[in-house]
Amino acid sequence: MASVRQGVVAGVRRDLAVARGLTRAALSAAETARDEARRHRDEALARHGERLSTLATAREAARNEIRARFDQTAGAVVEDLAAVAASCAPGAAGASWRTWRPTEPERGRRPGLFRIGTLGQEPAAATIPALVPLLDHAHLSFTGDPSTVDGVIAGLLLRVLGSTRPGEVRLTVYDPEQLGGSLAGFAPLGNADLLTFVGPGGLTAMLDDLVEQIRRINESVLAGEYASLAELTAATAARRPEPWRLVVLLGDAATAADLTAGQRAQLDRIVRTGVACGVHVLARGLPIETHPTVERVAVSGGTAACGATGVLPVRLDPPPAADRVAAACRELAELLLAGPPAARFADLAPEKLWTECSATGLAAPLGDGPDGEFVEVLLGDDPPHALIGGPSGSGKTNLIYAWLGALTARYSPDELALYLLDFKEGVSFARFAPGRRDPSWLPQVRLVGVNVNGDREFGLALLRHLGEELRRRAHAAKRHEATKLAELRAEDPSGHWPRIVAVIDEFQVLLAGRDAMATEAVGLLEDLARRGRSQGIHLVLASQDVSGIEALWGRSALVAQFTLRIALPKARRILADTNLAADVIPRFHAVVNADSGVPDANRIVRLPDASDRGAWRALQEKLWHARPEGLEPPRLFDGDAVPSYPEELSADGAVLGETIDVQPRPAVVRLARAPGRNLAVLGTRVEEACAVLGAAGRSLATVDDDARFSVVCLDDDASPAAGLLHAALPGAGWYDDAGAAAELLAQLADTPTGPPHYVIGYAWDAAAGRLPALRELLARGPERHVHVLGWWRGVTRLRDDLGGVGARFDAVGAWVALDVHGSELSPLSPQPGGPSWYPRPHRALFFDRAVHRAPEVIIPYEVGR
Ligand SMILES: Nc1ncnc2c1ncn2[C@@H]1O[C@H](COP(=O)(O)OP(=O)(O)OP(=O)(O)O)[C@@H](O)[C@H]1O
């Protein structure tokens, strides 16, 4: 039993051992599995953590990117919006109060939108202006706290006034409670009639008046042609013919209740029809009927909501400071009372140069009128010529500058040619010709004469030149069967037919004196004035001197042609006798009258400062650079300048000086082998006598290589110049005392005919009768080709050498007179009593019996320095 039991026990033990082993194995497996599972879990957890952190990083990056993109887009949108707002409300219409100041409206742009605050939330609120429509767009109806609304209205009014021209906006304020106190800062506008305060009893009359204004504008300004003043202004590019009328109605519930049916009806009419006529209502606390032109602004605290800004709330700007409003209004009133600023010289030029055609005339503004509109003057078939008058210093030269500036900026050198002559001392027109300091010149200018006060001959030469041009044009017109310039240009499109304008300042100098020159000048002027009209030749005569004008008045046929009259302040006799406008215009103004001065045709022009060199130079440089290739600069004649002897000259005789003519040319005397071909220089002025003989000798040396020269000098003062001439003439003889001269003359008495021999004598008369052979040489020399060119210090002394009292002057065929009066020259000249010659410095009178009918004035050259 025991063994059984032991067997059983052993069996059980075995089984237990097996079971234990199995259990241990199972436990171990389970533990392994558990560990594995734990590891998996830990790994999964670790991976999860990693993913979470990656995700968090990615999310953060995405968030940052989105934020950056948002910021960027929002910034761009804000910028765009701000730019749009700035362009819709430029300058004073939209600037913040910090930088606000009145601004000049841009040409062709009308402000319509005005800032009342800023839009949206910070930070955008700081930069996007909130704008409401007003001028030419809308009426404004405000609700909310009255004092805040009044601040908004004050800001709007100031912006409107600051961004329009003085006078373009008129205010009417109906303020029954405060009697104008709400907008008291605007009171200075009343001084210039730009503001009316209406009291409690004035509402009906005010509304009636506005309705009447609208009716009038519709009937006679828009006249069925335009739908609104804005459309009219845009279509005609003209200034607005009517101001904007802003009507501020400051009421409350009680005032609203007091409105009569009639007042309400008138107000409704204004709301319906006002905007097209520039009448705008800004109402606070009054019922304004619903209409597409009504913009409602609901003010609440410091913000507002309105249709123009939609759901975005408006943070209102503070009201403008009262002193700023008052100062701006005062300035505006003063500006308006002073009138619009005058146009500047630069404003006279068009945007594009040289676009005008002169076929039918020349039109250009001289300046602007009191209303700021340009005053144009015309030269063409009618009026053809102009007369300008005004006392010294009244601004004639300035006016001519302004006119020339406006003309030359419009008409190219193919369309316009200018001849400018100034008879007074000074160099007023010299700036148009190339100078030492400024090489530029005005391309349309063909001739400039300055300092010609002593040289009426130059004026005459110009008139003769124009007379020839007139004939040339008349001839061409006849050939082309044209009756006026426009037709000639149409028939001969390849021809060069610019309109010619000749300006002669202080022209009366030309007509002064009852001499042949004045007679010829008047004849030429008459012809040019009468026939120039159709040939495109226009005269502009200016004078400060009543006597000059009066001299013309005696010649009614001439004056009648000058239908364009321009009178500067205090000008006399330029306008009709009954026209006193020139007496009352202020400084730097002119009366322009294109109807011979009859009062009805007066136009007042404010002249810009065209004398300023800087402004001129800017225009001239521009025109100069635009000049056509090959265009010659203008000829400048300066009466104060002494021309130099032209070394390069080739002449066929003795050159004596420069003639006074449109084109400079030398005066030449030809010394042929014929009796009388001697030259006498007469007068006491040593320098000029030497200049004439010096030029004559030098030029003769270039004519004939075989020519011989003898220089006789019997005057110490002339000796240096004579010496220089002697040195310039190779092989010339030199004789400086009477004895030697007598020997020379004796020799020459027997010389047979041969190559020319010129005996140039300085101060023959100094020999005082010790040269008896001189008379013989003068009489007989030329036919043997021996010519005397001599200087005598007076006509009597020459006569002494020719045989004394009663002697004939046949041996002197040509002469140059210096300080010798015309009457003394009578025995030497064909005119009975002698030529009308009054000696003047640096001028000489030249006569050559062989070619002249009358003597001509010359300018002795500066020779041999
Ligand atoms: N519109 C103007 N604005 C400013 N200054 C002007 C104007 N017109 C003329 N002046 C100035 O007035 C002065 C006299 O003008 P200007 O020389 O044109 O007068 P004038 O009538 O030609 O005088 P005069 O006959 O004595 O030469 C000049 O100094 C000129 O610069």
CATH number for 282:
3.40.50.300
Q: Residue 686: phi, psi to the nearest 5?
A: -55, -50
In three-state form (DSSP H/G/I as H, E/B as E, the rest C), the secondary structure along 664-692 is: CCEEEECCCCCCCCCEEEECCCHHHHHHH
> In which residue are the tokens 């009597």 written?
796
What whole-number distance in Å separates Cα of residue 329 and Cα of residue 323? Answer: 10
Nearest CA to ligand 1 atom 25: 392
pLDDT above 70: residue 552 = no
Q: What is the pLDDT of residues 737-746, one digit of tens each?
A: 999 999 999 9
In three-state form (DSSP H/G/I as H, E/B as E, the rest C), the secondary structure along 38-63 is: HHHHHHHHHHHHHHHHHHHHHHHHHH
Mutate to test the pocket of ligand 1, among 611, 612, 613, 616 (most ligand atoms within 8 A of CB): 611
pTM of structure = 0.68
Compute the average pLDDT of residues 168-177.
91
Of the pLDDT bands very low, low, confident and very high (cuts 50, 70, 90), residue 304 is very high
Q: What is the pLDDT of residues 64-76, one digit of tens each?
A: 998 888 878 777 7
Do 182 and 76 sit in the same domain of this protein? no
pLDDT above 70: residue 546 = no
pLDDT above 70: residue 549 = no
Our answer on whether the CB atom of 393 is closer than 6 Å to any ligand 1 atom is yes
Our answer on whether the CB atom of 398 is closer than 6 Å to any ligand 1 atom is yes
Our answer on whether the CB atom of 508 is closer than 6 Å to any ligand 1 atom is no
Our answer on whether the CB atom of 611 is closer than 6 Å to any ligand 1 atom is yes
What whole-number distance in Å separates Cα of residue 750 and Cα of residue 776? Answer: 11
Q: How many Cβ atoms sit within 10 Å of the Cβ of residue 383?
A: 22
Whether 583 maps to a domain, the answer reads no
> In which residue are the tokens 């802003």 written?
246
Do 267 and 169 sit in the same domain of this protein? yes
The residue among 90, 112, 143 that closes a domain is 90
Mean pLDDT of the chain: 91
Query: What's the longest Cα–Cα distance across the chain?
Result: 212
Q: How far is the CA of 418 from the centre of ligand 1 (A)?
A: 21
- Encode 182-195: b = buried (16+ Cβ within 10 Å), e = exposed: bbbbbbbbeebebb
Whether 514 maps to a domain, the answer reads yes
Measured CA to CA in angstroms, residue 717 lies from 341, 475, 726, 762, 793 at distances of 63, 55, 15, 10, 13
236 is in an annotated binding site: no
What whole-number distance in Å separates Cα of residue 762 and Cα of residue 792? Answer: 8
Nearest CA to ligand 1 atom 10: 395
Q: DSSP letters along 526-583, please? A: HHHHHHHHHHTEEEEEEES-HHHHHHHHT-HHHHTT--EEEE-TT--SSS-TT--HHH
Q: How far is the CA of 338 from the centre of ligand 1 (A)?
A: 21
Do 362 and 314 sit in the same domain of this protein? no
Do 144 and 22 sit in the same domain of this protein? no
What whole-number distance in Å separates Cα of residue 823 and Cα of residue 839? Answer: 11
List the structure tokens of 411: 């008409």
Compute the average pLDDT of residues 218-242.
87
Do 79 and 166 sit in the same domain of this protein? no
Q: What is the pLDDT of residues 683-728, one digit of tens each?
A: 999 999 999 999 999 999 999 889 999 999 999 999 999 999 999 9
Percent of the chain at pLDDT exceeding 70:
97
C-beta of residue 725 within 8 angstroms of C-beta of residue 760: yes
- Encode 205-230: b = buried (16+ Cβ within 10 Å), e = exposed: ebbebbbebbeebbeeebeeebebbb
Mutate to test the pocket of ligand 1, among 397, 428, 451, 607 (most ligand atoms within 8 A of CB): 397
Q: How far is the CA of 363 from the centre of ligand 1 (A)?
A: 23
Highest mean pLDDT pick, 107-111, 124-128, 161-165, 180-184: 161-165
pLDDT for 700 equals 96
Compute the average pLDDT of residues 830-850.
93
Atom number of ligand 1 nearest to Cα 612: 31
Do 625 and 661 sit in the same domain of this protein? no
pLDDT for 516 equals 84
Nearest CA to ligand 1 atom 12: 395
Our answer on whether the CB atom of 569 is closer than 6 Å to any ligand 1 atom is no
pLDDT for 572 equals 87
Our answer on whether the CB atom of 543 is closer than 6 Å to any ligand 1 atom is no
Do 258 and 370 sit in the same domain of this protein? no
What whole-number distance in Å separates Cα of residue 352 and Cα of residue 726? Answer: 60
At 300 the three-state DSSP class reads strand
In three-state form (DSSP H/G/I as H, E/B as E, the rest C), the secondary structure along 8-40 is: HHHHHHHHHHHHHHHHHHHHHHHHHHHHHHHHH
Q: Residue 735: phi, psi to the nearest 5?
A: -135, 115
What whole-number distance in Å separates Cα of residue 27 and Cα of residue 37? Answer: 15
Q: How far is the CA of 544 from the centre of ligand 1 (A)?
A: 12
Whether 197 maps to a domain, the answer reads yes
Instruction: Count structural domains, the chain.
Output: 4
Nearest CA to ligand 1 atom 4: 609
In three-state form (DSSP H/G/I as H, E/B as E, the rest C), the secondary structure along 806-848 is: CCCCCCCCEEEECCCCHHHHHHHCCCCCCCCCCCCCCCEEEEE
* C-alpha neighbours within 13 Å on the C-beta side of residue 593: 27
Do 371 and 321 sit in the same domain of this protein? no
Q: What is the pLDDT of residues 717-726, one digit of tens each?
A: 999 999 999 9
Compute the average pLDDT of residues 293-314.
87
392 is in an annotated binding site: yes
484 is in an annotated binding site: no
Q: DSSP letters along 134-201, please? A: -TTT-EEEEES-HHHHHHHHHHHHHHHHHTS-TTSEEEEEE-TTTTTGGGGGGGGGGGGT-EEEE-GG
Q: Cα 644 to chain center, whole Å?
A: 36
List the structure tokens of 356: 């005008």
Of the pLDDT bands very low, low, confident and very high (cuts 50, 70, 90), residue 394 is very high
Whether 364 maps to a domain, the answer reads yes
Do 39 and 146 sit in the same domain of this protein? no
Q: What is the pLDDT of residues 399-430, one digit of tens each?
A: 999 999 999 999 999 999 999 999 987 778 99
Return the higher-pLDDT residue of 205 and 80. 205
What whole-number distance in Å separates Cα of residue 147 and Cα of residue 145? Answer: 6
Q: How far is the CA of 397 from the centre of ligand 1 (A)?
A: 6
Q: What is the pLDDT of residues 35-71, one digit of tens each?
A: 999 999 999 899 988 999 989 989 999 999 988 888 7
Strands 666-669 and 654-659: antiparallel
Q: Which one-letter DSSP state was computed for residue 222?
A: I
Q: How far is the CA of 605 from the centre of ligand 1 (A)?
A: 15
Which pairs from 719-726 meet CB under 8 Å and 24+ separation? 719/762, 721/686, 721/687, 721/690, 721/691, 721/693, 721/694, 721/762, 721/863, 721/864, 722/690, 722/693, 722/760, 722/762, 724/694, 724/864, 725/693, 725/694, 725/697, 725/698, 725/760, 725/864
Of the listed ranges 60-64, 237-241, 392-396, the one predicted with least confidence: 237-241
Compute the average pLDDT of residues 605-617.
92
Nearest CA to ligand 1 atom 9: 395
Whether 444 maps to a domain, the answer reads yes
Do 284 and 358 sit in the same domain of this protein? no
3 is in an annotated binding site: no
ipTM of the complex: 0.98
Do 275 and 364 sit in the same domain of this protein? no
Of the pLDDT bands very low, low, confident and very high (cuts 50, 70, 90), residue 9 is confident
723 is in an annotated binding site: no
Give the Cα-Cα-Cα angle 173, 194, 153 (nearest 5 degrees).
40
Our answer on whether the CB atom of 410 is closer than 6 Å to any ligand 1 atom is no
Whether 114 maps to a domain, the answer reads no
Atom number of ligand 1 nearest to Cα 390: 21
Q: First vs last Cα of the chain: how many Å apart?
A: 175
Containing domain of residue 30, as a range?
2-90
pLDDT for 190 equals 87
Q: What is the pLDDT of residues 135-158, one digit of tens each?
A: 999 999 999 999 999 999 999 999
pLDDT for 865 equals 56
Nearest CA to ligand 1 atom 31: 611
Do 632 and 663 sit in the same domain of this protein? no
pLDDT for 629 equals 95
pLDDT for 71 equals 79
Of the listed ranges 88-92, 287-291, 305-309, 798-802, the one predicted with least confidence: 305-309
395 is in an annotated binding site: yes
What whole-number distance in Å separates Cα of residue 117 and Cα of residue 148? Answer: 12
List the structure tokens of 641: 């300048």
pLDDT above 90: residue 382 = yes
Residues whose CB is less than 8 angstroms from the CB of residue 388 and which lie 6 or more positions away in sequence, other chains included: 396, 399, 400, 540, 541, 542, 543, 566, 567, 568, 574
391 is in an annotated binding site: yes
Whether 600 maps to a domain, the answer reads no
Whether 763 maps to a domain, the answer reads yes
390 is in an annotated binding site: yes
Return the higher-pLDDT residue of 547 and 663. 663
Our answer on whether the CB atom of 544 is closer than 6 Å to any ligand 1 atom is yes
Nearest CA to ligand 1 atom 2: 609
Q: How far is the CA of 392 from the centre of ligand 1 (A)?
A: 8
Our answer on whether the CB atom of 607 is closer than 6 Å to any ligand 1 atom is yes
At 287 the three-state DSSP class reads coil
pLDDT for 512 equals 81
Nearest CA to ligand 1 atom 15: 395
Q: How far is the CA of 399 from the centre of ligand 1 (A)?
A: 8
